[in-house]
Chains A and B, each alone.
Chain A
Amino acid sequence: MAESKQSEQKHNYGLLVTVPVCLLLALVFVFVTSGPARQTGQTVVQPLSPAWYTPELPREEYRKNAVMVGNCFLCHAFWVKQPPDPTVRTPLFAHAAVKLNHGSNNRCYNCHLIIDRNKFVRNDGTGIMPQIPEQVCKRCHGLIYNDWQAGTHGARRGKWLVNKKFDQQTFTCTNCHDPHNPKFRFVNFAPPPTWPAKLVRQGRMENEGGPMSEYIIGPEPREVF
């Protein structure tokens, strides 16, 4: 009697081993051999257009390609009337592209030095080198100039934590403003978002409401942006 009981225990033990081992094997077969492998390298998505995220200022390219800087005397030494007329407002023929639209500042020699066209003019009549046009602008726009010096007006790139000399890239007035037509203009706009409609959270009554929702939750709330 005791012997048969012992053998029964042994036979149960065998079954207890067989079942979990087979189960484990079945799971391994299901999930490791044919299971969901991570999809690798099959993401084919259109990259963003670099024109949308490349830093760009309105007149950065123009300033880079301005080849005539410093060559004004090529014409002005010979072809222009001597002595020059300080009240001139519209250039005769050479600068036809220049349309002066700078408010009451409407005379060429308010900013350009009359005796040396390569330079700009200070209040005292001395010249300003063309590389530092902010010195001309500050004659009238002093408050903006102070802001610009402190960094609160105008674009900056690089580092906010400045340790070395060239950590931060600053720009001058004419990188963004055309001095003859100084209102800020920038036209390279990027497109609106294209969120798929099914991912846009709407909460519209006609989509998700039932027959009683109007009485339960009242009129449809407007989503705040």
Chain B
Amino acid sequence: MAKQEKNTLSRRDFVTGAAVTLASASAGAAALSPLMDAEEIPTAEEFLQKHYRELTPADKKEIFQRIEEEIEKQYGVKATVDDPPPLDGVEFAYVLNIGRCIGCRRCVYACMEENNLSRDPQIQYIRVLKLKKGSIDLDTAIHDYPANEAADPDYFYMPVQCQHCRNAPCVKVCPVKATWMEKDGIVVVDYNWCIGCRYCEAACPYHARRFNWTRPGLSREDLNPDMAYLSNRPRMLGVMEKCTFCLQRTRKGRYPACLEVCPTGARKFGNLRDPDSEVRRILENERVFVLKQSLGTLPKFYYVFAK
């Protein structure tokens, strides 16, 4: 009888165990309580997801479906997330004629609309700088001039966005390789891999990268449902984002949104390797410069003075 009693759990041990459990559980909960205030906790699949470049087509299909379901749950919009591959023999380049830009900022809002950028707080990839005519003095440039100061004949307007450098400082500094240059010259970010350290924002000499300080505020009325994994799907809290030359459009042969909306035709986009393209004609015939050339970043975004 005594032998059998010894094998079972005694009352004293059970009470001790329960007390220890309670104490350790409450201590653990107290230690983990900051997580309760965290705005976004990844699901298990999100947490275990591999880097974009290690994904197989089957993985991608599964992930894109998951993202589509999340978007539908969150915004009530049926979106398609896909992943257009880089085109062969294509290297994108952008040419902007600062002699023609009138600073109307329509590119800024077309970009917000196309790329599902946060409306509140506002995130914009393009900043239109207003500069006094005579020199390019970036120190005195203003980018929040009121709308009625656009098209001022004493000033010129220089939109600045991601320059897609061939020698990109943001790609070099990323500690987790969450940003890289694609085969067609577009610098992209894997939002799921980004840890939000903002090194790239600090490294970029053009201030072209934006950080999601809050959960992006998007309105479901004008959410763009044509999404791509690497560009305009809704971003998460605490990740970096940037201009991708609208790769969901340009890799399917379409013009980027900022170009399409430009009323002046100051923006030109095309294939740098095609000798007959618009950008090649401008680069060969006009007076072209790149911003902050002395830094050696070798941008694929060119500015041109032309009438």
CB pair B74–A195 under 8 Å, yes or no, is no
Known: A47-B222, A57-B263, A160-B250. A18 touches B28 (CB 8 A): no
- Confirm or deny: B221 has a beta carbon within 8 angstroms of a beta carbon on chain A: yes
Chain A 37-79 per-residue mask, 1 if CB under 8 angstroms from chain B, else 0: 0111101111111101111111000000000000000000000
Q: Which residue of B lies closest to A148 (CB)?
A: B265
Report chain B residues within 8 Å CB of A210.
none
Does A18 lie within 8 Å of B21, measured CB to CB? yes
Given contacts A53-B112, A54-B261, A186-B104, contact A159 B255 (CB under 8 A): yes
Chain A, interface size: which category?
Answer: 35 or more
Closest B residue to A14 by CB, please name it: B9
Number of B residues with CB within 8 Å of any CB on chain A:
90
Q: Scoring B residues 1 to 35 as 1 if CB is less than 8 Å from chain A, else 0, what string do you get?
A: 00100110110011011101110110011001001
Chain B min CB distance to A83 (Å): 40
Contact A157 B121 (CB under 8 A): no
Residues of B within 8 A of A189 (CB): 103-105, 147-148, 150-151
When C-beta atoms are compared, the residue in chain A nearest to B121 turns out to be A196
Q: List residues of A (198-222) whose CB comes within 8 Å of B's CBs.
A: 199, 222
A11 nearest in chain B by CB position? B13
Q: What number of A-B contacts does a CB cutoff of 8 Å give? A: 211
| Closest partner residue, chain A, to B129 (CB atom) | A225
A-facing residues in B233-292 (Cβ within 8 Å): 250, 253-255, 257, 259-265, 268-271, 277-278, 281-282
Q: Chain A contacts of B100 at CB under 8 A?
A: 184
Q: Does B66 contact A (CB under 8 A)?
A: no
Given contacts A53-B109, A190-B147, contact A159 B254 (CB under 8 A): yes
Q: Which residues of B contact A40 (CB under 8 A)?
A: 73-74
- Flag if B21 contacts A193 (CB, 8 Å): no
Chain A residues whose CB sits within 8 angstroms of the CB of B188 once the complex forms: none
- Contact call A47/B139, Cβ cutoff below 8 A: no
Known: A22-B25, A43-B75; 12 extra A-B contacts, CB below 8 A, are A15-B17, A36-B39, A45-B219, A52-B109, A52-B110, A55-B260, A159-B254, A176-B265, A189-B148, A189-B151, A190-B104, A225-B141
